[in-house]
C-alpha cells in the first residue's frame, strides 16, 4: 500500500520537474487516513488500493494539460497514514505551506485535524456525515462527496416518483449504517413517505450459505409493502437479500438500486470520456470517492484560472459565487454558500445501468433544483464555514 | 427528346437534395429526402458515429466512427465503406480544409488534434491540445484551424502552415462547437455548461460578444448550447440548446436572440438544406430530426431516424 503511494508521488514529482521552470506551481496536499478494515461476508468487491488517489492523478493530468497553455502546473503531494494515525496527518498538515488540502478520512478525523485550521481551503472527499455540513461544519471545509442526506433524498425522490409509498427499512449494525438509516427516515418524512416497519438486521449466520433459508422467513413477517430500503453501507448483507424476499419487492439502498455521487454507469453528458480516461489510468472503474477527488481538484483549477491565480480568499469567493464546474453530470456544478457542499446531481444506479439522476423532474426548489437534495440553508445552522481570517 | 426528359425527371426524383444523419447508438447513417422529408436509406457504419462531413464534390462522406477509432470514407453514391483513414483514438468531430484534402480531427480521449491527408491516407501531424478536444473548424481561407477543448475550456488557434498553436482563448465551460462566418472575420464557439456562445474577431482573437439564452419555463442549467450554424448571408445564427430542446435564432448584427424554436429532445447539431430554405436538427434523446421551414422558423416535421442522432450534413442533387 505504502509503496504504491510512494510511486504515485514520485511519478507526479518527476513529471513536475519536466515542465518549464518559470511557470506557476500550485501545491496541493492530499491527506489520507485509511479506513479501519471492515469485515464483510463477501469478498467480491474489495476496496481498490488506489481509491481516491487515482482520481487525484487524473485531475492533476487534466489540470496540467490546461497548464501547458497557461504556464502553470499542479504539484500533488499524497500523504497516506494507517487507520487512526491522526498525529501523522497533523504533522503532514503542519509541514505543508500551500493553500489547498484534500481530506480523505472520517468526519471525526477531519474535525480533529482542522482544530487549528488557517486560511487553507480544505476539501472533504470521503465523509458523508450531515453533521459535518451543519452544526459541526468547519471553517473553510468544502465537501465534494455528497452527504447521507443528499443520497437519501435522491433515493426517496425516486421512491415517491415510483409511488413506492409503503417502505420497510432494514438497518445494519455499524455506525455508518445507522447514519444513512437516519437520513432515510428524515427524507421519507420530508417527502411524506411512510416507513411502516423499521428493523435492525440481526442475523449473524453466514448468509453466503443461509440466505435462501433465513431471508424469506425474515421478510415473510413483514407482510406487504412496496419497497425495502436497506442501510448497509458496506453491502455486507444487503447483497443476500435481493431475490430472497418472501414477496417479490424491490430492494434498494445498499445493493440493487443505490444512490451515489458517481457510478460506472454514468455515461451521458460526456461522462463516457471521463470514465474511459479514468479506467485507462487506473485499470479499474471510477468510484464515488475518486470522482469527489477529481471534481475537487478540477474546481480548484477552474477557480484559479478564472480568477487569474488570485489569492486564496478570492478563490474561495469564486468557488462560492460564480463557478460553473463541468462535472459530466448534465448540469453546471457549484458550491452551497452556507456550508461549502458541492451542489450535484446524484446517480441512482444499479450495477449495470443508470436508472435516474436526481433531482428528479418535479422536485423544485426556490433557488436551484439541486438544493432539493440534502440539508437546506435554514436547517444547516452552520456557522464556522463562512468565517474568514 | 421525350425519352431524355423522362430520364431527367427520373434521376431528379432519385437524387433529391438530402440530409445525412449519423446515429450514435445504432452505428448507422440515415439519409433523409428533403422533398418528401422521409428516410430513404440507412447505411451501416463503424461504432458510435458522430461527426460527418462530405468531400467538396459530395462524392465521399467522411464519418468519425468514435469507438472504432477510425474515420471511415463512404462512397456517397452507393453507401459502401471504401476504406478507413488513420484518425487517432476516439475521433469525435472534424473539419475538412478548403483544399478538400486535409482533415483536422479532434481525438477526444487523447487530447490531440490529428491532421490526416485523405489522399495519401497518412497522418500529417498530431497537435497537442487541451483535454477532450471536440469543436473543429477551418477558416474559409484555410490558414487557421480551430480546436475547442471541453475540459480545458479553451479555443486553440492553429496555424495550418506550421500546424502549431499560435493562440489560446479561454471561454466558458465545456466549449463544444466552432463555426466561422463565411468571410472568415468571425468565429462562433458554444459553451455547453457555461450556457453561452462567444463570438471572436479572428484578426486578433479578441472577444466581440458573448450571447446568453433564456427560455421561459426552462431552468437555466438546462440551456446547454452545442451546435452553431450561420445562414446563407450570415445574418442569422442558429444555436442548438441541448436538453433545453430549443434552437435559438440570433440576429448577427447586434447578437440579440430573436426567438426560440421548439425541436426534439437533446438537440445536438444542425444542417441547412442546400437551398438554405430549411434547417434540420438532430435530437439525440428523442431519436429524431426536426425539419424547420426558415421562411417563418416553424418546425414542419419530425422525422424518426436511428438511435441517438448526432451529426448532420447536407448533400445537394448531384
Domains and CATH numbers, chain B: 15-315 (2.130.10.10)
Q: Which pLDDT score, from 0 to 100, does residue A42 have?
A: 85
CA-nearest of A117, A351, A333, A246 to B173 is: A333
Please check whether residue A206 is in contact with residue A174, taking contact to mean a CB–CB distance below 8 angstroms.
no
The predicted structure's pLDDT at residue B245: 97
CATH T-level topology, domain A2-146+263-346: Rossmann fold (3.40.50)
Specify the pLDDT at position A252. 98
Output the pLDDT for position A361.
87
Please give the pLDDT value at position A193: 95
Q: How far apart are CA A163 and CA A173, in angstroms?
A: 29
Neighbours of A184 (CB within 10 A): 30
| pLDDT score for B276 | 97
Nearest CA in chain A to B172: A324
User: Number of Cβ pairs closer than 8 Å across A and B?
Assistant: 66
Cα–Cα distance between A325 and A320 in angstroms, integer? 12
Q: Nearest CA to CA, how far is A286 from chain B (Å)? A: 16
Given a contact cutoff of 8 angstroms between Cβ atoms, the answer to whether B107 and B88 are in contact is: yes
Q: Prior bond to B206 cis, omega within 30?
A: no
- The CA-atom distances, in angstroms, between A310 and each of A20, A301, A305, A382, B141 are 21, 12, 9, 26, 39
**What is the per-residue pLDDT across B24-35, written as a single tens digit (0 to 9) for each?**
999 999 999 999
Distance CA(B231)–CA(B185), nearest Å, equals 15
CA distance A166 to chain B (A): 32
Residue B244 CA to residue B265 CA, distance in Å, equals 8
CB spacing of A69 vs B132 below 8 angstroms: no
The Cβ of residue B275 has, within 10 Å, a number of other Cβ atoms equal to 12
Between these two residues, A10 and B294, which has the higher pLDDT value? Answer: B294
**pLDDT for res A362:** 85
Torsion of CA A297, A359, B175, B114, to 10 degrees: 80
pTM of the model: 0.87
Task: Give mean pLDDT in consecutive 10-residue pieces for chain A, a chain of 389 residues.
Answer: 43 41 87 90 89 97 94 96 96 94 97 87 97 94 98 97 96 96 97 94 76 85 95 94 94 96 94 94 97 98 95 96 92 94 97 95 85 88 74
CATH of domain A149-258: 3.40.50.2300
Distance from CA of A35 to the nearest CA of B (A): 32
Among candidates B154, B174, B194 on the partner chain, residue whose Cβ is nearest the Cβ of A69: B154
- CB-based contact B152 A66, cutoff 8 Å: yes
In whole angstroms, give the CA distance from residue A108 to residue A264.
29
Average model confidence (pLDDT) for chain B?
A: 94
Residue of A nearest to B243 (CA): A330
Distance CA A27, CA A142 (A): 18
Q: Measured between CB atoms, which of A69, A277, A298 is closest to B109? A: A277
Instruction: Say yes or no for a CB contact (<8 Å) between B153 and A62.
Output: no
Of A65, A276, A324, Cβ closest to residue B194: A324
Task: Examine domains A2-146+263-346 and A149-258 and report if their fold is the same.
Answer: yes
Report pLDDT digits (tens) over B149-206: 999 999 999 999 999 999 999 999 999 999 999 999 999 999 999 999 999 999 999 9
Cross-chain residue pair A326–B150, CB shorter than 8 Å: yes
Q: How many angstroms separate the first and last alpha carbons of chain B?
A: 21
Q: What is the pLDDT of residue A381?
A: 87
The full set of domain ranges for chain A reads 2-146+263-346, 149-258
B68/A41 Cα distance (integer angstroms): 41
Lookup result for grid cell 455521487: A261
Q: How close A64 comes to chain B (CA, Å)?
A: 9
Asked if A332's CB is within 8 angstroms of B193's CB, the reply is yes
Which of A65, A276, A325 minimises the CB distance to B152? A65
Better-predicted residue by pLDDT, A268 or B262: B262
Q: Which residue has the higher pLDDT, B219 or A2?
A: B219
**Contact state of B194 with A330 under an 8 Å Cβ cutoff:** no
Provide residues of B within 8 Å CB-CB of chain A.
Answer: 90, 108-109, 111, 128, 130-132, 149-154, 156, 165, 168, 170, 172-174, 192-195, 219, 221-222, 243
C-alpha A14: how far from its chain's center?
A: 30
Asked whether residue B82 carries a pLDDT value surpassing 90, the answer given is yes
Average pLDDT for B109-138:
95
pLDDT given at position A70: 92
Nearest-CB residue to B130 (from A69, A324, A330): A69
Which long-range contacts link A212-215 to residues 24+ away (Cβ below 8 Å)? A212/A244, A215/A240, A215/A241, A215/A244, A215/A245
A-chain residues within 8 Å CB-CB of B195?
Answer: 324, 332
Residue pair A168/A222 in contact by the 8 Å Cβ criterion:
yes
Contact assignment for A302 to B174 by CB distance below 8 Å: no
Pairing mode, strands A342-343 and A166-171: unpaired
Amino acid at each position: 500500500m505504502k509503496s504504491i503511494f510512494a510511486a504515485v508521488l514520485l511519478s507526479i514529482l518527476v513529471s513536475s520537474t519536466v515542465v518549464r521552470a518559470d511557470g506557476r506551481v500550485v501545491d496541493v496536499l492530499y491527506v489520507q487516513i485509511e479506513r479501519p478494515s471492515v469485515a464483510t461476508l463477501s469478498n467480491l468487491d474489495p476496496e481498490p488500493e488506489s481509491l481516491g488517489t487515482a482520481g487525484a492523478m487524473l485531475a492533476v493530468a487534466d489540470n496540467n494539460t490546461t497548464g501547458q497553455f497557461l504556464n502553470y502546473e499542479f504539484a500533488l503531494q499524497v500523504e497516506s497514514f494507517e487507520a487512526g494515525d491522526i498525529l501523522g496527518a497533523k504533522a503532514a498538515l503542519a509541514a505543508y505551506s500551500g493553500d489547498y488540502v484534500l481530506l480523505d478520512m472520517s468526519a471525526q478525523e477531519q474535525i480533529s485535524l482542522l482544530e487549528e485550521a488557517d486560511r487553507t481551503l480544505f476539501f472533504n472527499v470521503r465523509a458523508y456525515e450531515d453533521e459535518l455540513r451543519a452544526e459541526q461544519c468547519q471553517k473553510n471545509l468544502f465537501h465534494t462527496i455528497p452527504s447521507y442526506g443528499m443520497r437519501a433524498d435522491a433515493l426517496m425522490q425516486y421512491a415517491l416518483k415510483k409511488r413506492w409509498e409503503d417502505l420497510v427499512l432494514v438497518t445494519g449494525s455499524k455506525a455508518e449504517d445507522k447514519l444513512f438509516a437516519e437520513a432515510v427516515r428524515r427524507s421519507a418524512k420530508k417527502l411524506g413517505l411512510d416507513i411502516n416497519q423499521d428493523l435492525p438486521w440481526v442475523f449473524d449466520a453466514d448468509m453466503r450459505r443461509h440466505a435462501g433459508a433465513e431471508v424469506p422467513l425474515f421478510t415473510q413477517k413483514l407482510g406487504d409493502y412496496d419497497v425495502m430500503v436497506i442501510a448497509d453501507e458496506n453491502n455486507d448483507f444487503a447483497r443476500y437479500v435481493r431475490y430472497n424476499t418472501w414477496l417479490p419487492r424491490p430492494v434498494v439502498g445498499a445493493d440493487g438500486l443505490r444512490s451515489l455521487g458517481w457510478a460506472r454507469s454514468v455515461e451521458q453528458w460526456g461522462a463516457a470520456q471521463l470514465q474511459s480516461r479514468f479506467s485507462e489510468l487506473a485499470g479499474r472503474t471510477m468510484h464515488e470517492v475518486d470522482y469527489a477527488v477529481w471534481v475537487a481538484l478540477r474546481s480548484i483549477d477552474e477557480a484559479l484560472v478564472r480568477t487569474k491565480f488570485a489569492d486564496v480568499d478570492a478563490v474561495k469567493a469564486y468557488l462560492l459565487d460564480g463557478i460553473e464546474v463541468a462535472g459530466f453530470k448534465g448540469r453546471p456544478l457549484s458550491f452551497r454558500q452556507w456550508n461549502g457542499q458541492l451542489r450535484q446531481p446524484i446517480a441512482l444506479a444499479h450495477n449495470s445501468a443508470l436508472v435516474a439522476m436526481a433531482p428528479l423532474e418535479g422536485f423544485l426548489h426556490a433557488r436551484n433544483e439541486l438544493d432539493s437534495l440534502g440539508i437546506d440553508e435554514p436547517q444547516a445552522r452552520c456557522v464556522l464555514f463562512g468565517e474568514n481570517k | 427528346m421525350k425519352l431524355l426528359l423522362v430520364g431527367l425527371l427520373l434521376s431528379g426524383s432519385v437524387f433529391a437534395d438530402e440530409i445525412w444523419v449519423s446515429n450514435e447508438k445504432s452505428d448507422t447513417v440515415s439519409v433523409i429526402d428533403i422533398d418528401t422529408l422521409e428516410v430513404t436509406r440507412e447505411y451501416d457504419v463503424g461504432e458510435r458515429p458522430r461527426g460527418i462531413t462530405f468531400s467538396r464534390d459530395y462524392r465521399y462522406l467522411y464519418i468519425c466512427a468514435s469507438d472504432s477509432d477510425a474515420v471511415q470514407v463512404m462512397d456517397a453514391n452507393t453507401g459502401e465503406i471504401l476504406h478507413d483513414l488513420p484518425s487517432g483514438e476516439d475521433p469525435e468531430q472534424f473539419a475538412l480544409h478548403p483544399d478538400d484534402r486535409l482533415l483536422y480531427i479532434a481525438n477526444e480521449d487523447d487530447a490531440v488534434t490529428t491532421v490526416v491527408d485523405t489522399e495519401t491516407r497518412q497522418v500529417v501531424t498530431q497537435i497537442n491540445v487541451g483535454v477532450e478536444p471536440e469543436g473543429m473548424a477551418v477558416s474559409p481561407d484555410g490558414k487557421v484551424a480551430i480546436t475547442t477543448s471541453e475540459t480545458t475550456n479553451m479555443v486553440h488557434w492553429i496555424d495550418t502552415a506550421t500546424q502549431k498553436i499560435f493562440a489560446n482563448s479561454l471561454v466558458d465551460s465545456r466549449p463544444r462547437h466552432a463555426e466561422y462566418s463565411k468571410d472568415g472575420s468571425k468565429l462562433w464557439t458554444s459553451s455547453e455548461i457555461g450556457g453561452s456562445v462567444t463570438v471572436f474577431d479572428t484578426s486578433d482573437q479578441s472577444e466581440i460578444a458573448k450571447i446568453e439564452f433564456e427560455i421561459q419555463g426552462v431552468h437555466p442549467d438546462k440551456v446547454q448550447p452545442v451546435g452553431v450554424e450561420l445562414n446563407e448571408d450570415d445574418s442569422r445564427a442558429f444555436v442548438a440548446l441541448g436538453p433545453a430542446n430549443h434552437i435559438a435564432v440570433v440576429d448577427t448584427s447586434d447578437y440579440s436572440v430573436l426567438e426560440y424554436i421548439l425541436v426534439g429532445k437533446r438537440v445536438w447539431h444542425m444542417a441547412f438544406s442546400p437551398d438554405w430554405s430549411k434547417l434540420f436538427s438532430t435530437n439525440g434523446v428523442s431519436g429524431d430530426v426536426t425539419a424547420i421551414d426558415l421562411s417563418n422558423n416553424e418546425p414542419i416535421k419530425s422525422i424518426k431516424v436511428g438511435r441517438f442522432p448526432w451529426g448532420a450534413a447536407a448533400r445537394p442533387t448531384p
